[in-house]
Structure formats: structure tokens, C-alpha cells
Amino acid sequence: MLKPDYAVVTGLAPAHLNQYGTLASIAKDFSYITNYVPVDKIYINGSDVELVDTFKGSVSYSKNGVGGWKVRDTAIHASGTTFTLTKKSKSISVASGLLGIHQVGPLAVVAEIADRLSIPLQKIESGLAKTIPFEHRMQPRHLGGALLIDDTYNGNIEGIKAGIALLRDLPAKRRIYVTPGLVEQGELTESVHTQIGELLAVESFDEIVLMKNAMTKFIEAGLAKSGYTGTITVETNPLEYYKNLEFHVAAGDVVMMQNDL
């Protein structure tokens, strides 16, 4: 309908598989972009091998840069993400309100496309400085000295990975991870949730809070498989937990909340 001039494909992950069936079906759907946008104006997440195969000849981006722009001096803060982009004699200082290393690549793409459209570098910097999280998507909140990362609209395993990495990277006295798991994972439901448990176990967070449902047992299996030794709390009343969150956290805690059934 829109026939855009540029396109950015940020990832390929299990989501809406109850309708799509397979990741290959999602990739095929994405591929129709090439009917309207030239490959040199399609930007893809270069860390996804299937996207690279689907969009041969397109421009790949990563946390290291895009289109000749190099990323350096990346820093992740509780209030956002900063880094510098350089390309020959050009330099852009990026200070965004978006949280996490996973935001570096997409922000770099924005700068690259803006530069291709001849927007002055100073305006690119000022525009990027205004970027903030959407509500419930890696949105920082403060509660009694604790930092809460509200990512309760998260919907796939790649987002889960990004949240786990952010919780790992932020300074904290205690790290707490909260999730009920994901929906619409189709035939990958068990494997995806087992993987979530394994990923969490590797990081050795202080406490894992699971909202009791059909996916809980798979996350617990992943935690056990990878030898998690921290505290596991299974909540049977999620609403009460969220209402009384102030009684579960202390100053210096960082709490990552991902998805909300």
C-alpha cells in the first residue's frame, strides 16, 4: 500500500506463529519489500543470518556500525545509551533515551539514512537526542531507590535476549528478572521457554520471578538444566505482585519485567 523509499528490517523471531506457522513464512512475508524498495535502500539486522540470506545485497547494520559509519565509545546507562558515529571526516555524537546495546544498530541506521537524505549532522544529533522508549518497552521507572525496566509489551525471544543483556550490563546491588513467558510461540513454545531459562541461568541473576502459567515449567527446566543457583519465585497472583512491588525491592535493585500475559 505505502511503497516506501527505504525499509529497515530489525529482526526475525518467533512471534504470531499460531498464524504464520514457521519463521520461514515470516521471512517470506518480509521479502515482498523487495518488490518496491531497491536492495541498496533496505537495511537489515546483520546478526540475523536468515535475514541476510533473504535480503541479499542489502545494507547490514550492527552495534558496530552501518554503511561506512563506525560506532565507538558505547556506554549503557540507566537513563539511555550513548556512543559516537564516525565516517571519514564526519562525526555524530549520539545520546538517546533508548536503553540497551541492542538499540545502537537501529540508532546508527537512523543516522545513516538521515545523512543520505542530506540532513545536517547537528540536526541528526538533536533528533536522536529526543528518542525515548515507548510505554512498556524498555521503559525505565524508579521505585524507592530501585530501578524498574518495564518491558512488559515484549513479545519474542530476541527481545528477551536484549532485556537479559541490559539487566546484566546495568550496575546493581541486586538483579531481579520477572516474566510470565511469551505467547503465540506455536510449536516452538517449549524450546523457546527452555532457552529463556538457560539464558537466565548463565547470567546468575539474584532472583527469577515467574508468573505461574503453562510456560513456567519449561523456563524452570531451562534454569535447572543450566544449573541456576539463585532464588526462583513462582507467583500465582501476578496482579498482587505488581501492586505490591515496592515491598519486593530495595534501594540499588534493578528489576527487569518482560512481557505481561
pLDDT tens profile 202-259: 999 999 999 999 999 999 999 999 999 999 999 999 999 999 999 999 999 999 999 9
Residue 183 to residues 16, 77, 246: CA-CA distances in angstroms?
A: 8, 30, 27
Over residues 113-139, the pLDDT tens digits come to 999 999 999 999 999 999 999 999 999
**Amino acid 261: pLDDT:** 73
Span 156-183, mean pLDDT?
A: 95
What does pTM read for this prediction? Answer: 0.90
C-alpha to C-alpha distance for 89 and 64, rounded to whole angstroms: 18
- pLDDT, position 14: 76
C-alpha cell read off for 111: 543516522
Q: Is the pLDDT of residue 66 over 80?
A: yes
Q: Predicted confidence band at 78 (pLDDT cuts at 50, 70, 90)?
A: very high
Task: Report the b/e string of 179-197 with b at 16+ CB within 10 A.
Answer: bbbbbebbebbeebbbbbb
